[in-house]
Structure 1
């Protein structure tokens, strides 16, 4: 192999293949760790049902992630439990009831509208109305200020500053 003038053998060029190999290993190890454990489904309909249920359920240890999106060990256990409940012939409502009895309504992404959760459903609308009223008030105030007579603030020709 011919070396460039002034280049030393074992210089920066010999590190490129080693760095590329390290990058490839890091990439594949990251992809392998992100893989979700495979579950066996009888058909595509069962897989769609599982995915829909997992999207409606919340991971109990994650910050606002669904059971389908979480990689937490507890989420993996809950997905496995969900799969077993489906395989045992339970309906979607029976599965949700079982999980809420066991973990509370926090496990549901869409809690039911009742006396304890009404504020979860009403609060966003109330906040939007308050925000719109505040914007309307600010706009009205600015229009009123823009319409004031600025001639009274300007000095007259015979007045000095």
Structure 2
């Protein structure tokens, strides 16, 4: 089982092998984490993403890290929350699982995740956190370290609480 931890921080500053972008299906620059990653990664990222778009919900794509400290950026498309009756849980778990598979496939042993789908996509944070952690515990053997990088204290508190229950 990989080492899992949650920290408060800026995912664009992560020195882990891979960082995960909470992406949209067009793999285009957006707001929040996505916008910050595009800004920090620099000029090469938009073209690299255009070449791999579209990316269906629940799937992921991988690009170089460009100007980031991380070698790789995994672009995971989580679901928009629509009340829970449209397989949002399955799609969210799939986005995490596919991110882990892609990272392992390029030789990454460490990966940083944001709280996928919990911003503008509206996924309830506690529910999303439980899915994220349960999915990441079953990461491929190549992944030895997983860090959940939280944007604010309230998100960090929920991640820490859920991590204690696993």
TM-score, normalized by the shorter chain, greater than 0.5? no
Which structure has the higher relative contact order (CA within 8 Å, separation 6+)? Answer: 2
TM-score, length-scaled by structure 2: 0.25
Structure holding more helix per residue: 1
Bigger Rg, which one = 1
Structure holding more strand per residue: 2
